[in-house]
């Protein structure tokens, strides 16, 4: 065999060995680097907080686990969440979001809609080919991933679509001494997921989505983003979309939306909205965090506000900073409007994963919250809101 041929065969062998590493190892390494736990910011949990936390209904309004190359049911060695860590943290209710497009060089100030990181992620994570060029198909693929996880979870994860299904799952949690499932619903982060077509709002609903954010990190066909170039309001399509969402029973999520889009949505909407993951300007300035005026406007409309766990929301990403933001939101908007919106696995660095969320309970105790107030913020507000605002249970999926 000639030297040239031996070298060619050797190169082919190296490529053959490298390809599995590229498609199976690289996405996980990237995901691990983008979703870290910095436990230097963690705090010790007292016996009082630990005992109280075990009695709470804990709910979280934003989790991006479905984006990454991980099985949600299997315990993971990286990131912030999986079903087991949620169970270990006594998390009863979780909003799982789908991500369909993010801009290169993503930042909080100004992003173009011309670039996209998710195409490469979809290819390297072995998503179906249909997802490579369609934001809608990316959302549907991640939705199927959650439904499949629930199907193989042996009762540890239940996905609900109606208030009736939620009530049934809540009753099961109350009466079972062994398996207390995590109850999940689907959100999508930014309505670029409809690929510019109003009819695809119905497609998302039929596929199980029950919340949808109007915008993410760039301006889309529906609404301006707080991080976009134009930062405009609702587009003509966006106005149609919001009205169709309300007709179907899709909860409108204002996280990431531009100030003008925020005002437009509040003026047009007739049902309570959410801001699934955010901070407040008073404790952490930033373009995606809420002003006191926005907090009051949301409260007047019966909205729910999820306070985030990462630095962009609370600045130092510690449990005490989270409690400080919650205290301000409660003081301005009212106790019944404030909840948790972690942004776990959202390309964020946090002080703790889902199994250690009792640190928030501890921080709230240290901040002087009563046990009843802690119950409300940690999950009872979400329970009440979802039972009141999910479709009642007479519609077909």
> Is 377's pLDDT higher than 60?
yes
User: Rounded mean pLDDT of 133-148?
Assistant: 98
> Is 397's pLDDT higher than 50?
no
**How high does pLDDT run on average in the chain?**
93
Q: Residue 394: what pLDDT? A: 66
CA atoms of 277 and 2, how far apart (whole Å): 62
Whole-number percent of the chain with pLDDT over 70: 93
> Is 15's pLDDT higher than 50?
no
The continuous run of DSSP H or E covering 37 comes out as: strand 36-37
Most confident of 19-28, 69-78, 159-168: 159-168
CA atoms of 367 and 378, how far apart (whole Å): 14
Q: Residue 23: what pLDDT? A: 53
Split at pLDDT 50, 70, 90, the class of 1 is: low
């993971």: which residue's tokens? 76
Q: Residue 5: what pLDDT? A: 54
Note whether 257 and 223 are within 8 A (CB): yes
11-25, 69-83, 347-361, 383-397: range with lowest mean pLDDT: 11-25
Other beta carbons less than 10 A from residue 105's beta carbon:
10
| Both structure tokens of 201 | 């709002």
Note whether 58 and 378 are within 8 A (CB): yes
CA atoms of 332 and 305, how far apart (whole Å): 12
> Is 36's pLDDT higher than 80?
yes
User: Spelled out in words, what is the top-level CATH class assigned to the domain 35-389?
Assistant: alpha beta
- Beta carbons within 8 Å of 135's beta carbon, 6+ residues apart: 100, 101, 192, 193, 194, 195
CA atoms of 307 and 341, how far apart (whole Å): 5
Note whether 43 and 258 are within 8 A (CB): no
Buried b (16+ CB within 10 A) or exposed e, 167-204: bebbeebeeeeeebbbbbbbbbbbbbbbbeeeebbebb
> Is 13's pLDDT higher than 60?
no
Q: Residue 17: what pLDDT? A: 42
> Is 35's pLDDT higher than 60?
yes
Split at pLDDT 50, 70, 90, the class of 2 is: low
- Beta carbons within 8 Å of 303's beta carbon, 6+ residues apart: 272, 273, 274, 275, 337
Buried b (16+ CB within 10 A) or exposed e, 295-325: bebbbeeebbbbbbbbbbbbbebbbbbbbbb
CA atoms of 220 and 212, how far apart (whole Å): 14
Q: Residue 256: what pLDDT? A: 98
Other beta carbons less than 10 A from residue 349's beta carbon:
15
Other beta carbons less than 10 A from residue 293's beta carbon:
11
5-14, 52-61, 197-206, 381-390: range with lowest mean pLDDT: 5-14
Q: Residue 46: what pLDDT? A: 98
Q: Residue 10: what pLDDT? A: 53
Q: Residue 20: what pLDDT? A: 55
User: Rounded mean pLDDT of 263-268?
Assistant: 98
| Both structure tokens of 46 | 């007292």
49: helix, strand or coil: helix
| Both structure tokens of 356 | 């250690």
- Beta carbons within 8 Å of 300's beta carbon, 6+ residues apart: none
Split at pLDDT 50, 70, 90, the class of 76 is: confident
């Amino acid at each position: 065999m000639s030297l040239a041929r031996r070298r060619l065969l050797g190169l082919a062998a190296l490529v053959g060995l490298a390809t599995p590493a590229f498609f199976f190892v690289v996405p996980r390494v990237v995901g691990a680097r983008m979703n870290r736990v910095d436990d230097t910011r963690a705090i010790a949990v007292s016996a009082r907080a630990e005992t109280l936390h075990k009695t709470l209904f804990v709910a979280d309004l934003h989790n991006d686990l479905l984006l990454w190359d991980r099985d949600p049911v299997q315990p993971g060695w990286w990131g912030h969440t999986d079903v087991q860590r949620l169970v270990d943290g006594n998390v009863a209710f979780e909003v799982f979001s789908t991500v369909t497009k993010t801009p290169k060089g993503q930042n909080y100030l100004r992003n173009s809609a011309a670039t996209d990181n998710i195409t490469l992620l979809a290819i390297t994570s072995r998503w179906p080919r249909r997802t490579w060029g369609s934001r809608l198909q990316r959302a549907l693929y991640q939705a199927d991933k959650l439904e499949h996880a629930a199907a193989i979870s042996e009762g540890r994860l239940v996905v609900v679509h109606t208030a009736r299904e939620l009530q049934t799952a809540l009753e099961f949690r109350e009466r079972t001494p062994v398996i207390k499932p995590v109850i999940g619903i689907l959100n999508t982060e930014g309505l670029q997921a409809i690929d510019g077509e109003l009819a695809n709002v119905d497609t998302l609903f039929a596929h199980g989505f029950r919340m949808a954010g109007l915008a993410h990190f760039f301006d889309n066909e529906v609404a301006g983003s707080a991080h976009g170039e134009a930062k405009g309001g609702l587009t003509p399509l966006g106005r149609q979309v919001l009205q169709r969402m309300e007709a179907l029973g899709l909860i409108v999520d204002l996280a990431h939306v531009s100030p003008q889009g925020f005002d437009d949505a509040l003026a047009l909407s007739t049902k309570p909205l959410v801001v699934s993951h955010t901070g407040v300007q008073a404790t952490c300035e930033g373009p995606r965090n809420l002003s006191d005026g926005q907090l009051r406007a949301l409260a007047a409309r019966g909205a729910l506000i999820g306070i985030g766990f990462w630095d962009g929301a609370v600045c130092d990403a510690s449990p005490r900073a989270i409690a400080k933001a919650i205290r301000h939101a409660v003081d301005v908007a009212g106790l019944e409007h404030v909840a948790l919106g972690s942004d776990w696995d959202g390309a964020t660095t946090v002080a703790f994963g889902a199994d250690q969320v009792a640190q928030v309970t501890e921080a709230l105790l240290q901040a002087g919250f009563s046990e009843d107030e802690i119950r409300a913020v940690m999950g009872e507000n979400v329970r009440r809101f979802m039972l009141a605002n999910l479709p009642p249970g007479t519609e077909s999926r």
